[in-house]
């Protein structure tokens, strides 16, 4: 990877390569943009196959956070960190060393719990840095709020594409029944949707079958089901050249980050198949909105108002995409970039 070329193209401000021998630590903190406020993004721990893969993940996820905050209209910038490690080798020393790197950024980057980190791990990080949120779970953790936002976004997409406000009998395929997926299934079930679900953990599929009468399918079957909506709530990169031709759903609305394998190509493939894609960073902003509110002093009414906005924002994005004949992904990027440019312009005026 030609690093500065990539960073120039993607627009990152700063990338911190955190390295140490005792303890052995390799982590990357990517700060994409702080025009709207301090960069926020949870930290993910993953046994990446290569350092390039880790860097790519950090770069793309952090840019997604910038767009996420801008589309959610909160004064926050975008960042993300990845720790390159096997979850089996997590130690207190590792997280403390990582916490010192976060502290060294003096609040330019504020982080918390993402894939393979437990609340306990985040508490360990917070022994070394004050720039961690979501540790005390004052608001019940971000996942239920994320799920509520995804539910509203799914509803907006169904209304736009299928011209119905009633979810009764709507067939929805949910991939991944973790903290977000299960909460989403509950909302959908309560509104009369018919669920088709998959997870690599049989305990989780059994639970959702029992609680919400869902039909359980094998992980690879989820793409080709004859359903109205596909809701990816597990992994990134699942919308790609292999899966898209198999998709029969006309709406994609789920929580996973980086759902599109190759953003432009696969965004266009979905549009060509007349599948309405709710951009991941717009629909899954509930978690970020929740931790942001915790940071500034939790106010449930304000937090829910901001999450409820996801519905209107998505309708605006779908409308923009249709009118300009562009992908929904490009329409949301435009919305985010407009807001960021405006904020930069205001800052320049303030200096003068
Ligand atoms: N928790 C939050 O507030 C937010 C979560 N997200 C994203 O949403 C997604 C889900 O988040 P959580 O529910 O918190 O994570 P989680 O780790 O609780 O759940 C993920 C689930 O996906 C399952 N899974 C893994 N590989 C799978 C496969 N190949 N097929 C089917 N299922 C598979 C896992 O067994 C697990 O049950 C993640 O991609 C996360 O990055 C995005 C924004 C906020
Ligand atoms: O939406 C994402 O990908 C996030 O990283 C949201 C998030 C969850 N917990 C956090 C703690 C600090 C900053 C962001 C988050």
Q: Of 26, 56, 68, 80, which residue is the catalytic one?
A: 80
Q: What is the pTM of this model?
A: 0.96
- Asked whether 57 lines ligand 1 (CB < 6 A), one says no
Kindly state the tokens that stand for 162.
């299928």
- pLDDT at 209 (0 to 100): 98
For the record, the structure tokens of 339 come out as 């807001």
Q: How far is 299 from 242, CA to CA, in rounded Å?
A: 44
- Ligand 1 lined by 263 (C-beta under 6 Å): no
What pLDDT digit, counting tens, does each position of 216-238 carry?
Answer: 999 999 999 999 999 999 999 99
pLDDT tens, N- to C-terminus, the chain (352 residues): 788 888 888 999 999 999 999 999 999 999 999 999 999 999 999 999 999 999 999 999 999 999 999 999 999 999 999 999 999 999 999 999 999 999 999 999 999 999 999 999 999 999 999 999 987 766 667 899 999 999 999 999 999 999 999 999 999 999 999 999 999 999 999 999 999 999 999 999 999 999 999 999 999 999 999 999 999 999 999 999 999 999 999 999 999 999 999 999 999 999 999 999 999 999 999 999 999 999 999 898 999 999 999 999 999 999 999 999 999 999 999 999 999 999 888 888 877 6
Hey, what are 58's tokens? 């950090």
Q: Residue 277: which H helix or E strand, with range? A: strand 276-277
* CA angle (34 as vertex; 45, 281 as ends), nearest 5: 55
pLDDT for the residue numbered 140: 66
Q: What is the ipTM of this complex?
A: 0.98
Distance 80 CA to ligand 2 centre (A): 8
DSSP state of 253: -
pLDDT digits (tens, 9 = 90+) for 241-276: 999 999 999 999 999 999 999 999 999 999 999 999
Q: How far apart are CA 281 and CA 146, in angstroms?
A: 11
- Whether the CA torsion 344, 349, 351, 352 is positive or negative: it is positive
With a 6 Å cutoff on the Cβ, whether 118 touches ligand 1 is no
pLDDT, residue 344, reads 87
Mutate to test the pocket of ligand 1, among 178, 222, 243 (most ligand atoms within 8 A of CB): 178
pLDDT of res. 286:
97
């Amino acid at each position: 990877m030609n690093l500065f070329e990539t960073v120039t193209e993607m627009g990152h401000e700063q990338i911190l390569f955190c390295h140490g021998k005792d303890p052995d630590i390799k982590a990357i903190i990517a700060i994409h943009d702080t025009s709207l406020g301090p960069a926020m993004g949870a930290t993910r721990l993953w046994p990446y196959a290569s350092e390039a893969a880790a860097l790519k993940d950090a770069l793309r996820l952090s840019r997604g956070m910038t767009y996420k905050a801008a589309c959610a209209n909160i004064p926050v910038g975008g960042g993300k960190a990845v720790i390159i490690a096997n979850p089996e080798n997590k130690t207190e020393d590792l997280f403390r060393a990582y916490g010192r790197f976060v502290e060294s950024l003096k609040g330019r980057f504020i982080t918390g719990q993402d894939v393979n980190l437990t609340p306990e791990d985040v508490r360990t990080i917070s022994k070394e840095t004050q720039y961690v949120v979501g540790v005390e779970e004052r608001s019940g953790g971000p996942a239920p709020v994320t799920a509520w936002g995804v539910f509203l976004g799914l509803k907006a997409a169904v209304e736009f594409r299928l011209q119905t406000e009633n979810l009764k009998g709507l067939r929805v395929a949910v991939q991944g029944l973790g903290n977000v997926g299960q909460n989403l299934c509950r909302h959908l079930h309560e509104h009369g949707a018919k669920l088709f679900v998959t997870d690599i953990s049989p305990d989780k599929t059994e639970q959702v079958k029992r609680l919400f009468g869902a039909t359980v399918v094998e992980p690879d079957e989820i793409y080709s089901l004859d359903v109205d909506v596909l809701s990816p709530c597990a992994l990134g990169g699942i919308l790609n050249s292999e899966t898209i031709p198999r998709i029969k759903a006309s709406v994609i609305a789920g929580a996973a980050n980086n759902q599109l394998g190759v953003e432009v190509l696969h965004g266009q493939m979905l549009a060509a198949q007349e599948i309405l894609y709710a951009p991941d960073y717009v629909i899954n902003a509930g978690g970020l909105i929740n931790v942001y509110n915790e940071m500034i002093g939790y106010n449930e009414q304000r937090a829910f108002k901001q999450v409820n906005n996801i519905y209107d924002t998505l309708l605006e994005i779908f409308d923009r995409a249709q009118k300009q004949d562009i992908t929904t992904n490009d329409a949301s990027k435009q919305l985010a970039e407009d807001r960021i440019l405006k904020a930069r312009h205001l800052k320049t005026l303030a200096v003068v």
